[in-house]
Amino acid sequence: MSKKVAVFRKEHFNAAHRLFNPGWDDETNEKIFGKCSLPNFHGHNYELEVKVVGEPDPQTGYVMDMKVLSDLIKNEIHSRFDHKNLNLDTEEFKGVNPTAENIAIVIYELLRNKIESKFDLQIRLYETPRNYVEYPI
Amino acid sequence: MSKKVAVFRKEHFNAAHRLFNPGWDDETNEKIFGKCSLPNFHGHNYELEVKVVGEPDPQTGYVMDMKVLSDLIKNEIHSRFDHKNLNLDTEEFKGVNPTAENIAIVIYELLRNKIESKFDLQIRLYETPRNYVEYPI
Amino acid sequence: MSKKVAVFRKEHFNAAHRLFNPGWDDETNEKIFGKCSLPNFHGHNYELEVKVVGEPDPQTGYVMDMKVLSDLIKNEIHSRFDHKNLNLDTEEFKGVNPTAENIAIVIYELLRNKIESKFDLQIRLYETPRNYVEYPI
Amino acid sequence: MSKKVAVFRKEHFNAAHRLFNPGWDDETNEKIFGKCSLPNFHGHNYELEVKVVGEPDPQTGYVMDMKVLSDLIKNEIHSRFDHKNLNLDTEEFKGVNPTAENIAIVIYELLRNKIESKFDLQIRLYETPRNYVEYPI
Amino acid sequence: MSKKVAVFRKEHFNAAHRLFNPGWDDETNEKIFGKCSLPNFHGHNYELEVKVVGEPDPQTGYVMDMKVLSDLIKNEIHSRFDHKNLNLDTEEFKGVNPTAENIAIVIYELLRNKIESKFDLQIRLYETPRNYVEYPI
Amino acid sequence: MSKKVAVFRKEHFNAAHRLFNPGWDDETNEKIFGKCSLPNFHGHNYELEVKVVGEPDPQTGYVMDMKVLSDLIKNEIHSRFDHKNLNLDTEEFKGVNPTAENIAIVIYELLRNKIESKFDLQIRLYETPRNYVEYPI
């Protein structure tokens, strides 16, 4: 019988962003996104939880070495987004509005390429202590 | 392909309650519910997490505007239950024992009526930092 | 040279209360205390931190055995206030408005009587995660 | 229609452990497990969340009395593992490497025997605030 | 005898900033401030705790109505800094490097003007969950 | 006028220990320290907060660069105690009972040697989320 276990690792990064749809004029952006669209950006301490699901290896008792997962998150996510302006400094959000939903999808896709396909993967991202998202469902 | 994302919003309310089954005598209530049934009530800081699942809108990148969800929770839940006695002051718990389980079901039904049916909805309610419930499963 | 160390123990209790000055009419109470004065009570998960300052005993390395302090808080505070209505069920708040400030002063006085005078004592009381008090200063 | 609710109870225990595969030599253990394999042990404050899913009883409004669940966790888990060395002091980890994954599986099996089969059961175990696991999936 | 009590209120704001000394060239700024000086800004969820010390009013039992303090923080601090770029959008940080230390000093001075001098005032500001400051000492 | 600011940095380490006075027989150790004295050790996730007080440098706006403080804690404390058995693996606790009080004093002395004397220094150490100590007072 399969004994799947989920393992979770929390990391974080601090970034600036603004919400903005380039297909709309400024007035519409402000109407829809409110102060989240202010032109000079604001920012967040993003708290990231990465969930990996698989069977523990019988030799190690690990689904995945948390140090390996932590290093992967640091290399793929933290080094890319930490202390950056998501709108101006990143390839990933050129043409993608950096809502928490879209940031979670981008992070999922970056990590999905680097984690063996036998493992399921899910992202939880806290934009603030009171707002967070999960992807995929 | 569908890209469903879950978005979560945390709010809170402070209320008094006691656990009591009017079909039982006081001795039975005390035996079953212990000090949770003491006649003059006690209370909690209820922490509420509302989960809404759907596809991000391609124009906004939002599943749902968190400000809209926050306002909905304030109008439907906070204004109804905050600083209230659940047993004495509310319509919803006349004849319904205000356990965390039943409070979560009541909150779900109040919000379900106000959120478009294309979205899935789930409630998590913390009665204390060590006791919480989720509905539906 | 003295090596004073502060030791802290966290406990909690859940209680109902309302804010009310019996020297005022209902209208004045409502004006001053708002929904905190609603007649059927509301409640909180009170988180209590007790700070004891002294020199570690050279034999044990303890300022005070945390198990002893925990039991003292349970016997003197938790058993008195947990799952109670502070206004109706307690001697301590007959004639004393159960604001966080006054609850902290009452808890300090109850514990001060039970802790050796060579130790300094301070109370921190969280009424909610966003409101708390300390006594004495 | 069924109205299943999940109820959660958090408890904790403090224990020492080391990661070690007795089928490997010391060098391999150190290579795979790093400082988690140091011979004199290290330790953690394990935070445990137990999730029980079922329908609330119509008489009580409870899925399960949280006091009963709390006592069960104290008797079956806390008394067995708290302030223990998982490798040296417990039957359960003779021949089982005490990774977070394996500890969660062991706790699940201990509690599964004591909780009625009509209830679903899931374990979440925090080894540190940044590393945790869930079982089963 | 005086019975001074400290009351604390937590609020938060989200802002973008960069650390930059205009008297230095870019190379020196980068050497001293590292990625905190990157030109397109980054951001934080700033958690703010305001401590007010005084004697409880004998009529209310309050040092200060927490609703009044909360509104004051919202009007003086949140409305000024939330969802703003501290370097570009604010008067207060023209010529002042927005380190956590300096932000705390600025917040103190803004609130000190609005709180009666009979009360002592102290600011605690979390820039991240692992870095915070207090002013004054 | 002086503008002293306190800056705080949180780090952590995971270690095993037992409480034991070698001048007592086993029975006395067990009587005084209870299960904290069990011979095969238990362990904790120690959360450490280091407070440094001084005047912000007019050029940087920093009391002390938090990266420098973080690296200092990693080099002096984390590398020494993380994933170690405090009783068996460390010089510092040969002959010193590793109570939270004594661990805080040891950490203070290790860091005091490395931080300029113009700065005040204080240690807060969480042994569990409910038990913590501060030194000096």
Catalytic residue among A11, A12, A30, A36: A36
Q: Is the pLDDT of residue F96 over 70?
A: yes
pLDDT in tens, E92-127: 999 999 999 999 999 999 999 999 999 999 999 999
| Amino acid A81: pLDDT | 98
- What are the tens digits of pLDDT across the range E24-67? 999 999 999 999 999 999 999 999 999 999 999 999 999 999 99
pLDDT digits (tens, 9 = 90+) for C14-25: 999 999 999 999
> D90-127: buried (b, 16+ CB within 10 Å) or exposed (e) per residue?
bebbeebbbbbbbbbbbbbebbeeebeeebebbbbbbb
Average pLDDT of the residues in C69-92 = 98
Cα gap B131→C13, rounded to integer Å: 13
Considering only CB atoms, C38 lies closest to which of B38, B40, B84, namely B84
Candidates B83, B84, B88: best to mutate against C (most CBs of C within 10 A) is B83
Give CA–CA dist A134/F20, Å, rounded: 47
Beta pairing partners, D131: A9, D128
Closest CA to E12 of B48, B62, C47, A42: A42
B56: preceding bond cis by omega (within 30 degrees): no
Q: What is the mean pLDDT of residues F38-65?
A: 97
- Separation of first and last alpha carbons in chain C: 25
Q: Which residues from chain C sit within 8 angstroms of residue E8, using beta carbons?
A: 131-134
pLDDT higher than 90, residue C84 = yes
Please give the helix or strand (H or E) that residue B107 lies within, else none: helix B100-112
The two three-digit tokens of residue F95, written as one number: 């002959």
Q: How far is CA A2 from CA A32, A55, D16, D51, in A?
A: 47, 7, 28, 20
Which residues of B are less than 8 Å from A137 in CB distance? 4-6, 53
Taken in order E34, A123, E132, F83, the sign of the CA dihedral is negative
* Position C2 confidence tier, pLDDT thresholds 50, 70, 90: confident
CB-based contact (8 Å) between C129 and chain B?
Answer: yes
CB pairs < 8 Å spanning A and D: 59
> What does DSSP assign to residue F56?
P
Q: List C-alpha distances in Å: D100 to A51, D106, F16, F42.
A: 14, 10, 16, 16
Token pair, residue C66, equals 């945390």
Cβ distance F42 to F14 under 8 Å? no
The verdict on C125 touching E (C-beta cutoff 8 Å) is no
CA dihedral (F60, F61, F66, F68) in degrees, to 10, reads 30
Q: Do B60 and A21 touch (CB under 8 A)?
A: yes
SS3 F123: strand
B97-126 in b/e form (b: 16+ CB < 10 A) is bbbbbbbbbbbbebbeeebeeebebbbbbb
Catalytic residue (choose from F36, F49, F101, F134) = F36
Closest Cβ opposite residue F43 in set D42, D89, D129? D42
pLDDT tens sequence for chain B (137 residues): 579 999 999 999 999 999 999 999 999 999 999 999 999 999 999 999 999 999 999 999 999 999 999 999 999 999 999 999 999 999 999 999 999 999 999 999 999 999 999 999 999 999 999 999 999 99
C94 at the B interface (CB within 8 A)? Answer: no
Neighbours of chain A (3+ CB pairs under 8 A): B, D, E
Task: Considering the candidates D11, D36, D47, D134, report the single residue annotated as catalytic.
Answer: D36
Task: Select the residue of F12, F43, F45 nearest D16 (Cβ to Cβ).
Answer: F43
CA angle F20, F26, F32 (to 5 degrees): 60
Q: What is the pLDDT of residues F69-86, one digit of tens each?
A: 999 999 999 999 999 999
Q: Given a cut of 80, is residue A2 above it in pLDDT?
A: no
Helix (H) or strand (E) holding A69: helix A66-73
Please report, to the nearest 10 degrees, the dihedral formed by the alpha carbons of residues F123, F129, F131, F135 taken in order.
0
Q: How long a stretch of residues is chain E?
A: 137
Strands (E), E66-119: 84-85
Percent of chain F with pLDDT over 90: 99
Question: Does residue B136 have a cis bond before it (omega within 30 degrees)?
Answer: yes
CB contact under 8 A, C41 and B85: yes
The separation between CA A37 and the C-alpha centre of its own chain, rounded to angstroms, equals: 20
pLDDT value of position C136: 98
Residues of C tagged active-site: 36, 83, 127
- Structure confidence by residue, pLDDT tens digits, D40-97: 999 999 999 999 999 999 999 999 999 999 999 999 999 999 999 999 999 999 999 9
Neighbours of F137 (CB within 10 A): 14
pLDDT more than 70, % of chain F: 99
pLDDT at B2: 72
DSSP letters spanning B29-94: HHHHHGGGG-TT-EEEEEEEEEEEEEPPPTTT--SS-HHHHHHHHIIIIIHHHTTEEHHHH-STTT
- Can chain E be said to touch chain B, i.e. do they have 3 or more Cβ pairs within 8 angstroms? no
Overall pTM > 0.90: yes
F103-107 mean pLDDT = 98
Non-local CB neighbours of C116 within 8 Å, separated by 6+ positions: none
Sign of CA dihedral A57, A63, A68, A72: positive
3-state secondary structure D61-87: CCCCCHHHHHHHHHHHHHHHHCCEEHH
Q: Is chain D touching chain C, with at least 3 CB–CB pairs below 8 Å?
A: no
SS3 for A57? coil
Averaged over E76-88, what is the pLDDT?
A: 98
* Position C130 pLDDT exceeds 80: yes
Q: Long-range contacts made by residues E31-37, C-beta under 8 angstroms, separation at least 24?
A: E32/F60, E32/F65, E33/F60, E34/F67, E35/A82, E35/A83, E36/A83
Say if the Cβ atoms of E133 and F61 lie within 8 Å.
Answer: no
Dihedral sign for Cα A65, A71, A76, A82, please: positive
C-alpha of C21 from chain center: 20
Phi/psi at E17 (nearest 5 deg)?
-160, 170
The domains found in chain B, sorted by start residue, are: 5-135 (3.30.479.10)
Block residue for tokens 């570009």: E88
d(CA A6, CA A52): 6
Q: pLDDT tens digits, residue range A52-85? A: 999 999 999 999 999 999 999 999 999 999 999 9
E30 close to E97: Cβ distance less than 8 angstroms: no
Considering only CB atoms, which chain D residues are within 8 Å of F36? 83
Q: Nearest CA to B45 among B108, B102, B104, B128? A: B128
| pLDDT for E2 | 72
State the SS3 of D94-130: CCCCCCHHHHHHHHHHHHHCCCCCCCEEEEEEEEECC
Interface contact D26, partner F, CB < 8 A: no
Partner residue facing F131 (CB), from C5, C59, C66: C66
> Which of B18, B40, B42 to probe the C interface (max C CBs under 10 A)?
B42
Give me the residue from D32, D34, D133 closest to A7, CB to CB.
Answer: D133
Indicate if B12 belongs to the active site.
Answer: no
Amino acid at A84: K
Q: Is the pLDDT of residue A14 over 70?
A: yes
User: How much is the pLDDT for C32?
Assistant: 97
User: Measured between beta carbons, which residues in chain F are less than 8 angstroms from residue E23?
Assistant: 59
Q: Is the per-residue pLDDT at F2 higher than 90? A: no
